[in-house]
Amino acid sequence: MPPIEVARRYYHDSYTTQFASRVSEATEAGGRPAVVLDETFFYPTSGGQPFDTGTLGDRRVLEVVVRETDQALLHVLDGPLAAGPIDGRVDWPRRLDHMQQHTGQHILSQAMIRIAGANTIGFHLGTDYVSIDLDVADLDDHRTDEALAMANDVVSGDVTVKAWFPTPEELTTINLRKT
The predicted pLDDT at position 5 comes to 53
Element (H, E) at 108: helix 92-116
The predicted pLDDT at position 128 comes to 80
Following CA atoms 43, 103, 13, 178 in sequence, which dihedral angle do they give, to the nearest 10 degrees? -80
Q: How far apart are CA 170 and CA 155, in angstroms?
A: 26
Torsional sign, CA 138, 113, 127, 36: negative
- Banded pLDDT at 77 (limits 50, 70, 90): very high
Mean pLDDT for the stretch of residues 98-120: 92
pLDDT tens digits, 42-72: 999 887 778 999 999 999 999 999 999 999 9
**Contacts of residue 60, Cβ cutoff 8 Å, sequence gap at least 6:** 53, 54, 77, 78
**Contacts of residue 153, Cβ cutoff 8 Å, sequence gap at least 6:** none
